[in-house]
Amino acid sequence: METIASPLETQKLCASWRAAGLKIGLVPTMGYLHAGHESLIVKALAESDRVVVSIFVNPTQFGPKEDLDKYPRDFQRDQSLCRSLGVSLIFAPSPDDMYPAGFATKVAVPSMAATLCGRNRPNHFDGVCLVCSKLFNVVGPRKAYFGLKDAQQYFVLARMVRDLNLDLELVPCPTVREPDGLALSSRNAYLNEAERKAATVLSRALDRAKGAALGGQRDPKALIDLIAATVAEEPLARLEYAQVVATGDLADVSADLSTIDGEILVAAALWLGQTRLIDNFLFTPPEARR
Amino acid sequence: METIASPLETQKLCASWRAAGLKIGLVPTMGYLHAGHESLIVKALAESDRVVVSIFVNPTQFGPKEDLDKYPRDFQRDQSLCRSLGVSLIFAPSPDDMYPAGFATKVAVPSMAATLCGRNRPNHFDGVCLVCSKLFNVVGPRKAYFGLKDAQQYFVLARMVRDLNLDLELVPCPTVREPDGLALSSRNAYLNEAERKAATVLSRALDRAKGAALGGQRDPKALIDLIAATVAEEPLARLEYAQVVATGDLADVSADLSTIDGEILVAAALWLGQTRLIDNFLFTPPEARR
């Protein structure tokens, strides 16, 4: 396994693989890899000739008051995991490698970036679009793997890939969870013991809403209220948002769910002390399927 | 020679060429081809195994009051020219092929888009970045050819290509001119006889400024004043701007030119009736070379 910091050197190596007819799978990460990332890497390994894992804590997707500096890092552990899994290349650039002096370009999907998590993280998805544009261009993957825990990220990037005619497939992968339901996230490391226990309220709230939807509840407001009521039962948790949106454009769904076309995303974010957690589920009303 | 409207079909054909080891040259155009375009195509043919000419009057780079509807078009003549030159493929999508319902992505270099022509065409270079991102991703060229008559376009795109790690080379090509100095442009077709005669004032003004720079004039304001004074001699012409900028970031240069690093762009735009013409020259003060 190689580890390369230089975008140009990575681009040349990946181009040589493509020229040899090899299919590249890319798993973009911010490092501090957990079993969620591992599931993406395993899937990529099964579908590709070469797997590239990028490890880059991307400054442009953090707000000025967010946790860029304290974001957890353990590069050696990440390297060991990637090596043991059979990854071909870790692309691990520095911020200066990615954004050298004079950098001036923006890539964004503004209409899908201002809702859900974007309401409190106004530049986050612009940063995600920018860094993923660069990663896709450096690596030239046939497929890139994203976890659905970050569902908005996936749908924004899917829009970007389609709109910009990027010649690759985004592969959405199921959220990996702790036995008690908590979605895996590098940020779970921030939680103290009491917060860790309380954190299960998020998946529990979404599970209740999903159960209600499966049971026939078609009023999006009722699903949101159910999430809010469940989170309110946990004194340590503060709900940031719960929303029901269409996955195509992430527009809020206020109509009866049996009248809509296609899939909805039910997503929520909450705070436990200084830690922000997100989770979601996807649902397609059977009677509303196109 | 093939003509294809579908981005996906074009992408597949170009991918098959690359897989066969063939180098693709791309000449992006809005059609109504003239000898300037022809010079780009000839250069591309000399350096590539397959040449793709895109013909697309891109709505996103026109302002609401600009000449999108009346922009000159002659697809059959363009086809004949491309065929006779040896072009492999004309990519000629419709606006709906390029921007289908739900399209939502933006690509831009805002800091370089607001100056020069961007002062009066605020969304123009965002549209250029967006369409060229798409064209580059559809065609996957090794090299893409741009005329330096549109110098700002070239420098904005060069920044974008570098920033986004696009794996291609932009090739700047010299402006092609009429015998009397007028830079070729599809928009020259708008000029009536008197305007056509008057139009030479633009290259004459820039030639005088270039002569002054070559003769030792190092005050950017003096160059601008010389352009303005020359244009003022032509009653039909109205100067929109004359500027001296650094080519790296297109920032205005107000310092003595012998103290700056690298290359400057001296550019001007003027109006003749309803027609807007642009022209420019590049200059590197010999004593200021890095």
Q: What average pLDDT score do residues B66-89 get?
A: 97
Cα of B7 to nearest chain A Cα, Å? 8
3-state SS, residue B174:
coil
- Determine the pLDDT at residue B82: 98
Strand partners, B26: B52, B144
CA distance A223 to B92: 47
CA distance B241 to A88: 53
Interface of A with B (CB under 8 A): 7, 11, 15, 19, 21, 102-112, 129, 133-134, 137-138, 140, 159-160, 163-167, 248-249
Spatial strand order of the sheet with A50-55 comes to A2-4, A89-91, A50-55, A24-29, A143-147, A169-173
Task: Assess contact for B179 and B254: CB atoms under 8 A.
Answer: no
Query: One-letter amino acid identity for B201?
Result: V
Helices A35-47 and A75-85 cross at an angle (nearest 10°) of: 30
- The ranges of chain A with pLDDT < 50 are none
Residues of B with a catalytic annotation lie at 37
Residue B160 corresponds to which tokens in the numbers above?
A: 């974008």
Q: Could you give the residue ranges of the DSSP H alpha helices within A48-123?
A: 75-85, 95-98, 110-113
Q: pLDDT tens digits for A108-122?
A: 999 999 999 999 999
Q: pLDDT tens digits for A42-101?
A: 999 999 999 999 999 999 999 999 999 999 999 999 999 999 999 999 999 999 999 999
CA distance B31 to B37: 9
- Determine the pLDDT at residue B290: 55
| Number of domains within chain A | 2
Say yes or no: B159 and B194 in one domain.
no
**Nearest CA among B64, B61, B120 for reference residue B240:** B120
Residues of A in contact with B163 (CB under 8 A): 103-105, 134
- Determine the pLDDT at residue B260: 86
Say yes or no: A136 and A27 in one domain.
yes
Give A117's DSSP letter. G
Say yes or no: A95 and A160 in one domain.
yes
How many CA atoms, within 13 angstroms, populate the side-chain half-sphere of residue A231?
Answer: 25
Q: What average pLDDT score do residues B11-24 get?
A: 97
How far CA A95 is from CA of A5, A77, A89, B39, B134, in Å, comes to 10, 21, 19, 40, 26
Q: Could you give the residue ranges of the DSSP H alpha helices within B140-199?
A: 151-163, 193-198
Say yes or no: B54 and B113 in one domain.
yes
Neighbouring C-beta atoms of residue B80, cutoff 10 Å: 12
- A124 a catalytic residue: no
Residue A222 lies in a domain: yes
pLDDT band at B258 (very low <50, low <70, confident <90, very high): confident
3-state SS, residue B13:
helix
Residue B39 lies in a domain: yes
Residues of B in contact with A245 (CB under 8 A): none
> pTM of the full predicted structure?
0.97
Angle at A37 between CA A34 and CA A43, to 5 degrees: 140
Residue A286 lies in a domain: no
Residue B180 lies in a domain: no
- Taking 70 as the threshold, does the pLDDT of residue B129 lie above it? yes
Q: Which residues contact A88 (CB under 8 A, 6 or more apart)?
A: A1, A2, A50, A51, A52
How far CA B287 is from CA of B72, B212, B218, B257, in Å, comes to 44, 15, 11, 9
Residues of B in contact with A111 (CB under 8 A): 104
Query: For residue A258, how far is the Cα from the chain centroid?
Result: 28
Residue A180 lies in a domain: no
Say yes or no: A239 and A118 in one domain.
no
CA distance A117 to A267: 9
Which of A137, A159, A249 is best to mutate for the B interface (most B CBs within 10 A)? A137
CA distance A192 to A275: 10
Strand partners, A278: A269
CB contact under 8 A, A167 and B11: yes
Residues of A in contact with B103 (CB under 8 A): 163
CATH number, domain of A99, equals: 3.40.50.620
Say yes or no: B162 and B197 in one domain.
no
CATH number, domain of B252, equals: 3.30.1300.10
CA distance B217 to B211: 9
pLDDT band at B49 (very low <50, low <70, confident <90, very high): very high
CB contact under 8 A, B249 and A102: yes
**Nearest CA among A131, A145, A137 for reference residue A165:** A137
Task: Assess contact for A166 and A138: CB atoms under 8 A.
Answer: no
Q: Which residues contact A181 (CB under 8 A, 6 or more apart)?
A: A200, A203, A204, A207
**Nearest CA among A266, A198, A189, A265 for reference residue A232:** A198
- Determine the pLDDT at residue B259: 87
Residue A290 lies in a domain: no
pLDDT band at B287 (very low <50, low <70, confident <90, very high): confident
CA-CA-CA-CA torsion sign (A173, A178, A183, A189)? negative
- Determine the pLDDT at residue A272: 98
Nearest to B106 among A15, A108, A137 (CB): A108
Say yes or no: B154 and B199 in one domain.
no
Domain boundary residue among A150, A173, A196?
A: A173
Say yes or no: B18 and B161 in one domain.
yes
Give the residue on A whose Cα is nearest the Cα of B166: A137
Give the residue on A whose Cα is nearest the Cα of B100: A163
CB contact under 8 A, B159 and A107: no
- Taking 80 as the threshold, does the pLDDT of residue B233 lie above it? yes
Residues of A in contact with B112 (CB under 8 A): 104
- Taking 80 as the threshold, does the pLDDT of residue B77 lie above it? yes
Give B177's DSSP letter. B
Task: Assess contact for A211 and A240: CB atoms under 8 A.
Answer: no
Say yes or no: B98 and B139 in one domain.
yes
CA distance B190 to A241: 55
Residue A288 lies in a domain: no
How many CA atoms, within 13 angstroms, populate the side-chain half-sphere of residue B244?
Answer: 28
Residue A287 lies in a domain: no
Q: Which helix (H) or strand (E) holds B186?
A: none
CB pairs under 8 A between A and B: 80
Longest CA pairwise span in chain B (Å): 57
Say yes or no: B150 and B267 in one domain.
no
Say yes or no: B251 and B132 in one domain.
no
Query: One-letter amino acid identity for B270?
Result: L
> In which domain, by residue range, is A139 found?
2-173
CA distance A33 to A87: 13
Say yes or no: A158 and A199 in one domain.
no
Domain boundary residue among A138, A173, A208?
A: A173
Q: How far apart are the first and last CA of chain B?
A: 45
Neighbouring C-beta atoms of residue A67, cutoff 10 Å: 15
Domain boundary residue among B173, B205, B236?
A: B173
Strand partners, B242: B268
Task: Assess contact for A207 and A231: CB atoms under 8 A.
Answer: no
Nearest to B105 among A7, A109, A167 (CB): A109
